Amino acid sequence: MSITDIQDEIIEEFSMFDDWEERYQYMIDLGKDLPLIDDQYKTDSNIIKGCQSKVWVHAELKDDKVCFTADSDAIITKGIIAILIRVFSNQKPRDIIEADTDFIEKIGLKEHLSPTRANGLVSMIKQLKMYAIAYQTQLK
């Protein structure tokens, strides 16, 4: 599935929720279901600098696609990671680089984009795209 298709799918899932509680409960559940990152990748160098919760991201190239695994010590952040991984993992570097992230606003998580949120959503997206850029260069 293309990144846009996955994003549309997520927007549709979130549109079924009536209020913030259901939305957050869903994210928390996604966070709980997030496949565990291999412990060897939970290193300081894989930490995305955010003020409040720790986020680790690991990337590797499989065939011509980038695969991401990630983790956090906060469950809501893990839920957000789960969404991002669903969107960006297993995609071609160029598609990741070119993807826009408007869907975050559309699923009612706009507040997490604010710099004060410090859960690293903005830096997470940036980091994923950085990996994609790095692999894109490698593929050339």
Partner 1 sequence: MFNVEDIRKDFPILSRKVNGKPLVYFDNAATSQTPQQVIDVIVDYYSNYNANIHRGVHSLSQEATDKYEQARHTIQKHFNAKFAHEIIFTSGTTHSINLVANGFSSILKKDDEIIVSALEHHSNIVPWQMLCERTRAVLKVIPMNQEGELSMNDYDQLLSKKTKLVFVNHVSNALGTINPIEYIIEKAHQVGAAVLIDGAQSCPHIKPDVQDLDVDFYVASAHKMCGPTGVGMLYGKESWLKKLPPYQGGGEMIAEVTFEKTTYADLPHKFEAGTPNICGGIAFGAAINYMNAIGFDNISSYEHELLEYATKKLLEIEGLKIYGISKHKTSVISFNLEGIHPYDVGTILDKMGIAVRTGHHCAQPIMNYFKIPGTVRASFSFYNTLEEIDALANAVKKAKLMLS
Interacting residues toward partner 1 by CB under 8 A: 20-21, 24-25, 28, 51-54, 73-77, 118-119
- Catalytic, 51? Answer yes
Closest CB to partner 1 among residues 59, 122 = 122
Closest CB to partner 1 among residues 66, 80 = 80
How far is residue 85's CA from residue 33's CA, in Å, rounded to a whole number?
Answer: 12
Per the DSSP assignment, residues forming a β-bridge with 65 are 62
How far is residue 67's CA from residue 107's CA, in Å, rounded to a whole number?
Answer: 24
* Minimum separation from the CB atom of position 112 to partner 1 (A): 9
* Minimum separation from the CB atom of position 43 to partner 1 (A): 17
Closest CB to partner 1 among residues 29, 98 = 29
DSSP per-residue codes, 34-63:
SPPPPGGG--GGGEE--SSS-EEEEEEEET
Residue 29 structure tokens: 């559940």
**Pick the catalytic residue: 51, 105, 111, 114?**
51
* Minimum separation from the CB atom of position 50 to partner 1 (A): 9
Residue 92 and residue 64 in contact, taking contact as beta carbons nearer than 8 Å = yes
Active site residues: 51
